[in-house]
Amino acid sequence: MFEVEKKYRIKNLTSFIENCKKNKIVFLEKYIEIDKIFVNSEIKDFNFKKGTAVTRIRKVEGKDNFITLKRKLSDVNSLELETKIEDIAVMEKILYELGLHELVTVHKTRQKSQLENINICLDNVDKIGWFVELEILINNKKNVLEAQQKIDNLAAQLELYKDNIETRKYDVLVFEKNDR
């Protein structure tokens, strides 16, 4: 499974919500996520090359918890393998035993919606602010350009512009904020 995604920094939340309403996008689902990011113990920051595996343990309020391995393939897509986990503490111990260490923790409140096959996530991320992610999951890399076009079309309808695009992941933004 491949993820095609664009993230936009929300400069005016009220205006963004109004644009969502105009496009019949309603955020019904709201919950808290805590992501712990694990990497090889030799890695001390996010200055690593594309193709490096990053493991995330996601604790979701009132829902299942997951472990995800991500390998960034380009600026807009990545390989993602994910499965449910029952015991977060045991999984963290396994990762430590495998030589990984926790690089950063990200706390966010997420509100979700969907329009056709586009997942829309409105996120309030502790320390760094409001963002929206537009995402399509595809099975075949051949569909990347088509997915990107769908995302760009929705972004235009929501008045999300290129100068609002944020290419860094939340974990990187929080890590940089913590590092100051």
Q: Show the tokens assigned to 1.
A: 């499974």
**pLDDT for res 17:** 95
What pLDDT, in 10s, does the model give residues 21-70?
Answer: 999 999 988 999 999 999 998 888 888 778 888 999 999 998 999 999 98
pLDDT band at 80 (very low <50, low <70, confident <90, very high): confident
* Predicted TM-score (pTM) of this structure: 0.82
Least confident segment among 76-80, 88-92, 137-141, 155-159: 76-80
Neighbour-count burial for 135-174, b at 16+ CB within 10 Å, e otherwise: bbebeeeeebeebbebbeebbeebebeeebebeebbbbbb
Q: Under a CB-based contact definition with an 8 Å cutoff, are residues 159 and 15 in contact?
A: yes
Mean per-residue pLDDT of the chain: 92
**pLDDT for res 71:** 86
